[in-house]
Amino acid sequence: MEQIKKEVCVKLRMPLQKAFFRYVMTTFMLVVMLSATVILVSIRVQRWLLPDKDAVYLHVEGTMGDGRMTSQTYLMELDGDFMEAAVLVAEEDGKTVKPDIVSTRYSLELYDNAVSFLTPKKKLLYFGCYGAMALLPALFSLSGILLCCRRFFQKKLKPPIDILTDAAACIAEQNLDFTIAYTSADEMGALCRSFEQMRAALQENYKRMWEMLEERRSLQASVAHDLRNPIAIIKGHAEYLQINVPKKKLTQDMLLSYAGNIKKAAERLEGYTESVRTINHLEELAVMRREVDFPALYQDMRADFVRMAELWGLTLAADNQVKQELLCLDVQVLYRILENLIGNAVRFAKSRIHLSFFEEGGNLCVTVADDGCGFPEKVLHCKNRYFAIEGSDKNHSGMGLAICRILCKKHGGSLMLTNEAEGGAAVKIMLSV
């Protein structure tokens, strides 16, 4: 059997919604970690380019008495919360004198912001760190979303979609000889299991339809085979009469005899056609199962079939080995099967019939055996053929086994033909209960 199977071992039993949330949260944490790493590294690079010293730039701009402007810049170290003020003086002849400055303006600039003092390459690296802190987290977020969706699709959606696509293609080609196996416990796993149930139901329906067609072909072949004898008799008698009646060689008694033989053959043909009509009606029969008290049902059936056998001068012995008291079955179907089987048995039995009820594999089994000559070899070797078995009763069509086989299958069972070791035929039926 072809097997469409992809083993996906999923230990976490969660629906797709929770699984998708888990994928999103995992991606979010990775993006946050990568973004934080980029930001910290960028800050460290910027601090390396502009060390974070406790210092400031002091810009001093002065106006001389003659109107000239002076400008000087000093790097001042901070000591805690205080900065030692610097006094700008000049020395002349060993003496300290104040410069001739009319006005002075002071300004401070943080050392960190003095980017203008960096070289062009360091400036590019410095501002590149700002770009990395702004762009890389956005890039990580976009990449995380795409990778999360792709990973979720590849892990959770693609395997069951591929399985269902292959299965649908096989069903479209009318090939149901495969299985669908997907071990995930999420919604897609439930969908695959439902699809497998649908496939199994379709396969079972096709199997039943095929069996029905085979049964119909077998029935048609069997009926065509069994109709040859009465047709041949009618044809032979008709030809004989056509030849000899004009010659006036036949007496009235001979004519009546031939007419009687033709009538009997016609009646046999009528019996065959009626049996075929009955079998066709059985295909539309619906089995109605219900719980029944089997010990009470057994007693009723035993009494009915004992009287039936007595009408033919035979003895019927019955035994019940069924332990369950309540069985779910269609009583009418069971009665009809046993009536046909016992009807066949009384035609061939010499003195006795044995009826046995027992359980096998959870099914109800019934065996009907007689002490007659047994089934012909052609019937035993062709178990699925609907041979009409002729007995001493020429008015009987002999299609009872065909009816019983169809009813057994309708009830989810089967019918088997065997011959007893000491002689006689035995029919075993099995009904699903």
Query: What's the CA gap between 60 and 52, in Å, rounded?
Result: 23
pLDDT tens for 275-325 read: 777 777 776 777 888 999 999 999 988 988 888 888 888 999 999 999 888
Report the amino acid identity of residue 108. L
433 residues of the chain, pLDDT tens digit each: 444 444 333 333 457 888 888 889 999 999 999 999 999 999 998 888 876 556 666 778 877 767 778 787 776 766 555 444 444 443 444 444 455 666 777 776 665 555 766 788 888 998 899 999 999 999 999 999 999 999 888 888 888 888 888 888 888 888 888 888 887 778 888 888 888 888 888 888 888 788 777 777 776 676 676 677 778 888 888 888 888 878 777 788 888 887 888 888 888 777 777 777 777 777 677 788 899 999 999 998 898 888 888 888 899 999 999 988 899 998 888 988 898 899 888 888 889 999 999 998 889 999 999 988 888 877 776 655 454 455 444 444 456 787 888 888 888 888 988 888 777 889 999 998 8
Tens-digit pLDDT profile for residues 83-133? 444 444 434 444 444 556 667 777 766 655 557 667 888 889 988 999 999
- The pLDDT of residue 397 is 46
Domains of the chain in sequence order: 55-111 (no CATH), 288-432 (3.30.565.10)
- Start-to-end CA distance of the chain, whole Å, equals 30
